[in-house]
Structures are given as C-alpha cells and as structure tokens.
Structure 1
C-alpha cells in the first residue's frame, strides 16, 4: 500500500510534520506487517499556492503529469504497480492538491485509488472525483476557518495529528474492502513499490 501525501502550507520536508509522519506510523501499526509506504508530493507549499486553490504544479505532480511530461506519482503507481493499493491524502493546501489531482486523473488510474483522506480540507463538502463517497474521509475540526472556506489559521487547524488513528482505521478498512472487490488493496510483505516517508 502506498499513501500519496501532500503536506500543508509552510510545512517543511517531503511529507511535513503535523499529519504525514504520524499518519504513516498509525497505518503501519494496523498493517499486520504488510508493506506500507508514503510518498510525498514535491511542491512549494506556500501561501500563494493556497490562495490559487492549491499549487498547480504540485497538483499536476500528484496527479499524473509533470512540466517535463513525465508520469506523476498517482499515474506512475497505477501503471507500474497495478496491485498496490493507492491512498491519496493531504493536509490543508495538501487537501486542495488531492482534490485537484483527482479532478484531472484519467478513470483508469483513478480506479486504483483505494481511499482518499483529507485533513483540514479547504474544499470541505466537495467530493473527490473518481472515488466513491464510501471511500472518502474528510476530517475537519470545529472552528477551523480553513474548513469553512476561510484563510485564517486558528489553533483548530494545527491539531490534526490527533486524528491519525481514526484515519488509519478508515484506510485499512477501505483497503480490505478494495481487496475483496478486486481493486488495489493490501499487498503481501515485500510487494511494496514506493519509497518510505522522507
């Protein structure tokens, strides 16, 4: 299973710090030894991108095309590792990227997405294109202005790390259901394809 994760605005590193690393740890704890990897999305994660509705180049990298016309993360995983369950996820602006990527993804690649999980979603209330609502989890805290369509960062927006256990349970349930339905679900140990969180 590979979690394609987009970090939030101003977060450092490939997968940030608030949600990315603890989410990976939480999923691994429930995986019964199965391979679980996380691939971050390389993008500036700046305020300008947030105000644009999610950095356009970051959205393209997550989806399936890059400025140099190389396959982006989701499309490459779907093509190269068809038996790997793909989880798409994002925090704050990263959730915008998740929505944007799904909007642009071709149906064949989208069919490999096992679940979509958004934290502090600026597009709260909108579906994720190509992903059934039963496989979408949006976690928004009360009084989080970002989830209300605003641009104010309040304390409620900075505490989504506390929700990773709930998200991990949802991901594993979706993966098990996907496997039973013949979709990309959980793989046997040693069958993973993407790099771990970095």
Structure 2
C-alpha cells in the first residue's frame, strides 16, 4: 500500500514540474507531450491538460510542456498561427535533442486547430498559409489529439464524435494531413458552436467529461505500437478516469480554466488500482490524509 502511495506522489511531483521550456526538459523515457490550451484559458496546460495527466500516470517517465501563445479571441488569426509555429518549433527542437523519444500533441479549441496546422499546414480561408511539419520529424509524432477543433472538416478519416458539419474554419485541403491520419484523433460533437457550427454553447466544454479516457488510451496505444511496448508499468487493473468540465460557454470560463491548470496526480481506488485524476493545490492535503491512512 505504501509503495502505491509513493508512486502517486512521484506522479504528482513529475507533472507539477513538467511545464517548462523544452530546452529545460530532460529527454523523456516515456512520452513527451506538448499541449496547447483553448481560447481565453489562462497560460499553462488548460483543461486538456487532464488528458496529459492521465497519460503520464499510465506511462511513467513521460514529460509535459505547454505551448506559450496568446490564446485570444482578439487577433485570433495571429494567435492561432503563433501556437502552430510554437508547436512546430518545439517538435523540431525536441526531436533533434531527444531523437529516441516519441512525441504526442494535444490541443483544445484554438489549440486543436494549432495542432492540425503544425502537422499539415494551414489551408483555412483567411489564414496565412503555413508549411506542414518537416518530414525529418514526422516519425517522432506518434499521436495528435484535438477537442473542439474549429478547423474540423467533414469526411476526414480522423474525425470522432457526433458532428456531421464542418467547423467555422474548415480546411480547404486535408490531403496534407493524410500522411498523419493514423496518428490523429479529433473529437467534435453535434451542436458545438466552433467545430460543428452548432447552436449549443455548452457542447464545446463537454469533451473532458466524455472523451478523456478515449483520448488518453489513444495516445498510449499509439506510443506502445511505435515503441514495441507490450505491457505497461503498474497495476493491470489501472484505469483512466474522466473529469467533468465546468465550462458553460463557447469557451472555457475563468473558473474552469483555473481548475483545469491544476496538477495531475493519481489516487488509489478501493480495489488498489491507480486511477489518474486532477486535483488543485489543496489536493495535497487530501494526499496527506491518504498517506496517514496508509500508515494504519
């Protein structure tokens, strides 16, 4: 029991110190995850950081870094282009420095569009055209996950969710993305005002409650295949939990953003399996209580 708790504390410490510049991040022995938050979320991992937290709990030795970009509605075109550029730069720099480490990209809303632009270039109307990811680094990106991507385009092979319409900034050319199609998973649901041009302002904030487990599992499976890994460290009963979103509008509210940038950790279920979750700083008190219980 104490050993399980020690692993939980280690996961907390690892992720809480992981959001830093790539040049400062040690080469991961697991997955290196680059994360772009959604529009108007506070700097950091944002809500989609919960997916990264689940992955790091399942794959020890993983690292997480946040894309530093404005994430604003004002000047959206330049803000999104900035994120796509940072993604490309971070992938290139990290791949050159850590050639044996696999990389996963995560993005929510505007950050999701940036993920796609970094992979296959920008072909959306009104945006400045950008190049796709340099072929030299293609093999390093084993998975890319998006939630509520405004560049969602009907018919793309990586589309998941319930949407049957294009987003507000649909791609004019998805062929540039097709070499990555097996590594991409993009969730967009019917009614989402951004990725589905719908009229339900709440839908855009529901992905974290509905697809966190699916997204984390997708990334881990792609990493396992790419690295010929047949089993994972930890309890065979380990599962990935979902975390409800508190966003109520078309973009994350300030309260939701604050909650989402909390540290990812692991907790122990009654059965002894390790389950990833998200806790705020106050969660350390809960871990202390858990520790005391483990001493009994």
State the TM-score, normalized to the length of structure 1. 0.77
Residue 58 of structure 1 pairs with residue 106 of structure 2: no
Structure 1 unaligned runs (5+)? 65-72, 189-196
Residue 35 of structure 1 corresponds to: 61
RCO comparison, higher one (Cα < 8 Å, 6+): 1
Residue 148 of structure 2 corresponds to: 120
Residue 37 of structure 2 corresponds to: 7
Question: Secondary structure of 1:63's partner?
Answer: helix
Structure 2 unaligned runs (5+)? 1-30, 122-130, 157-173, 234-262, 265-296
Residue 105 of structure 2 corresponds to: 88
Matches within 5 A, 1:1-198: 1-16=31-46, 18-20=47-49, 22-31=50-59, 34-50=60-76, 52=77, 55-64=80-89, 73-102=90-119, 103=121, 104=131, 105-125=133-153, 127=174, 129=177, 131-149=179-197, 154-162=201-209, 163-180=211-228
Number of equivalenced pairs: 171
Q: How far did residue 25 of structure 1 move?
A: 2.0
Q: Greater CA deviation, 2-11 or 141-150?
A: 141-150
Kept in 2, the 8 Å contact 1:7–1:15? The answer is yes
Question: Secondary structure of 1:171's partner?
Answer: helix
State the TM-score, normalized to the length of structure 2. 0.53
Kept in 2, the 8 Å contact 1:6–1:89? The answer is yes
Q: How far did residue 140 of structure 1 move?
A: 1.2
Classify 1:132/1:57 alpha carbon distance in 2 versus 1 (closer, same or farther; 3 Å): closer
Please say which structure displays the higher CA radius of gyration: 2
Deviations 1:44-97 (A, max 9, x none): 0000343x2852222211112xxxxxxxx1111110011111001100000111
Tell me, in whole angstroms, the C-alpha distance in 2 between the residues paired with 1:178 and 1:130.
18
TM-align CA RMSD:
2.6
